[in-house]
Structure 1
Amino acid sequence: MHIYCLFLLELSSSQKGLHLIELVDDVFSLGERVFQLDMELRSEKQRYSMLAGTVLGYKGAGIGRIDEKGTPDRCEFWCMSKDDVLGSAPVLPAPEAVSSHRSLYADFSRSCHSLTMVILDCLETQLGLPNGAFRSRHRIEWPSSDQSRQIRYLPQPEEDRRTSLVPHTDYGSVTILFNVLGGLQVLPEGSTSEEENWLWVKPIRGCAIVNLGDAMVKFTNGFLKSPMHRVTYAPGEQASLTRYSLAYFTRPEDQCLMKRLEGSEMIPELDDDDEDLDVTAGEWVRTRVRAAQVQKDQRAQFPLWATKGLK
């Protein structure tokens, strides 16, 4: 037995939720200004592009690929490290429009991380895990690859509308996602990836879209599953509008070992031929990022866990 986890979480019934909604609005407004900077200048792009060998900073449209043919993606990112904005890691280069709003990114990171802890506490209880099993692996003050990601999708040509972001599962533990326009789609369990099988995830004002990632699959030995999802052009009249999204990725602490958790009768035992390797979360994410950045025929050099969820 296993459970795929992607759901809408209503935020407007609590003060913390309302505060997060306000922060989301502020980051959305900032994102519009950030993407309208002179990023069309190649030198400016390169200055902030994929900093320190990561996906932090700016990623331009067309850098990623959505299929085996090498078709370029149609989305731009601006990514901010949690450790950077909270002052526990060196500050990475950023344009003034971003640097002058580090406190906003820090508040957003704290608020999303706090929400994630509530979700993990609920899962911990349902799984019958020892108290703190998840929190002890996701302490906000410890180094991790947590990040916020602002995303822009420009309107696509009417004669050539297609997938903007490759089908994938997320690397980390919990993703908190906000968007106004449609475009996010999920592939139901057991379905093949033909177009007719993808289902729309309708955004609702005042709600976050919550998605579990592959780290939770590892911690629960497959009991919890991360759903395959993608982003395509927005449906109907929305397709003519620029689509902005905002995501927060909570990932395990860098030094956390990516192993099955002990103490729950619901989490299946490892099979006799399975092996829990001593892979840290930091290595887990770095390897997954590198695997995602190469063509499919080059991924054979990576361990199987590194290419899970990659198309």
Structure 2
Amino acid sequence: MTDTTSEQQADIAVVSIAQPLETIADELGRSFAEYGFAVIRDHGIPQDLIDRAEAKSREFFALPDGVKRAYKLEGGGGARGYTPFGTEKAKGAEVFDLKEFWHVGRTLPEGHQLAEFMAPNIWPEEVAGFEQTFFDLFAAFETAGLRVLEAIALHLGLERDFFAPTVEDGNSVMRLLHYPPLGDDAPEGAIRAAAHGDINTITLLLGAEEAGLELLTRQGDWRAVDVPPGALVINVGDMLERLTNGRLRSTTHRVVNPRGEAARRSRYSMPFFLHFRPDYVIEPLASCIGEGQDAPEPISSHDFLMQRLREINLA
């Protein structure tokens, strides 16, 4: 595996999802098959909501460490509330990532059949408007994600709404990420997010305009992901790769440490990890299994998630 300069860009699709999905489905599919990544414009998430969410995120992470740690839920696998700096490790990594984060999950009505899989959200009292802001952003992310899934279904030759019931009331999680300025006390070899693949179905990422996000190509090169202002980065997660038997790739990616002035300032982003329902059984699509080709065994979305959370030190 070789490193490349940050100026090199992966040839990933950049498309508007405001146009008819039939016109872009195969371009998205090509990009997901080759790189596991695509960039979408005109995603429908209002800019004023994004601006409000970024302000609330910064306000929370600026709170004293002791205040933030009061929102860490022991035994919750980091699924809700605060996860402190120095906690998460990428699978196989020897040192922790240089980040802290907050998780917002789905809010289910009392007595819902899937309530056992999803803990209630908690909200920081110190940040006014935090709950409503991120409740609204969660819903907007989900709407955008469903449109991307419709395009993926069209590319795969499925009914346009194939994915709708698979993700209805899914265990999706929105992460508010803060990468603090780089300090001299960071462990040797630590970076903001070590090489990893995402667990979920697809990820939608806000806030990737600042340099640092890189993906690993089939050739073993690290390539920077170039993001136009206001666009969303989309990447395939392990669950969708498993469902398509590898036809769509869950690509290893990372966030590298910046140099110069950028190293002395924080970096913020907001990924939305769109998940299948916990009771959805991930069984490779028959159309994605070639003659004589092996396919992974069926597994529930929940069992797959827990398996992977243990691998990254969150469960």
Counterparts of 2:91 and 2:281 in 1: how far apart (Å)? Answer: 32
Change (3 A) 1:3 1:95: same
Is residue 121 of structure 2 the alignment partner of residue 92 of structure 1?
Answer: yes
CA contact (8 A) 2:101 2:178 kept: yes
Post-superposition Cα deviations, 1:64-112, rounded to whole Å, max 9, x if no partner, equal 2358673232100111112369996553333214684322212111111
Q: State the 1:136 CA deviation.
A: 1.9
2:98 alignment partner, one of 74, 87, 98: 74
CA contact (8 A) 2:200 2:239 kept: yes
| Identity across matched positions, percent | 22
| Residues 178-257 of structure 1: pairs in structure 2 closer than 5 A | 178-179=206-207, 180-191=209-220, 197-257=221-281
Could you list the runs of 4 or more consecutive aligned residues of structure 1 that deviate by over 6 angstroms after TM superposition?
85-88, 158-161
CA contact (8 A) 2:236 2:249 kept: yes
Aligned length: 276
2:148 alignment partner, one of 101, 119, 127: 119
Counterparts of 2:81 and 2:69 in 1: how far apart (Å)? Answer: 10
Residue type matched to 2:54 in 1?
F
Q: Which stretch shifts more, 125-134 or 97-106?
A: 97-106
Unaligned runs of 5+ in 2: 1-29
Counterpart position of 1:128: 157
CA contact (8 A) 2:214 2:256 kept: yes
CA contact (8 A) 2:151 2:160 kept: no
Is residue 176 of structure 2 the alignment partner of residue 150 of structure 1?
Answer: yes
- Report the 3-state secondary structure (helix = DSSP H, G, I; strand = E; otherwise coil) of the residue aligned with 1:260: coil
Q: State the 1:50 CA deviation.
A: 5.4
Change (3 A) 1:98 1:85: farther
Change (3 A) 1:174 1:108: same
Counterpart position of 2:194: 166
Unaligned runs of 5+ in 1: 192-196, 295-311
**What TM-score does the superposition give when structure 2 sets the normalisation length?**
0.77
CA contact (8 A) 1:181 1:238 kept: no
Post-superposition Cα deviations, 1:190-209, rounded to whole Å, max 9, x if no partner, equal 30xxxxx3222233311111
Is residue 268 of structure 2 the alignment partner of residue 268 of structure 1?
Answer: no
Counterparts of 1:50 and 1:96 in 2: how far apart (Å)? Answer: 19
Q: State the 1:268 CA deviation.
A: 2.5
Counterparts of 2:109 and 2:177 in 1: how far apart (Å)? Answer: 18
Q: State the 1:49 CA deviation.
A: 3.8
- Report the 3-state secondary structure (helix = DSSP H, G, I; strand = E; otherwise coil) of the residue aligned with 1:185: strand
**What TM-score does the superposition give when structure 1 sets the normalisation length?**
0.78
- Report the 3-state secondary structure (helix = DSSP H, G, I; strand = E; otherwise coil) of the residue aligned with 2:107: helix
Change (3 A) 1:272 1:198: closer
Residue type matched to 2:283 in 1?
K
Residue type matched to 1:120 in 2?
L
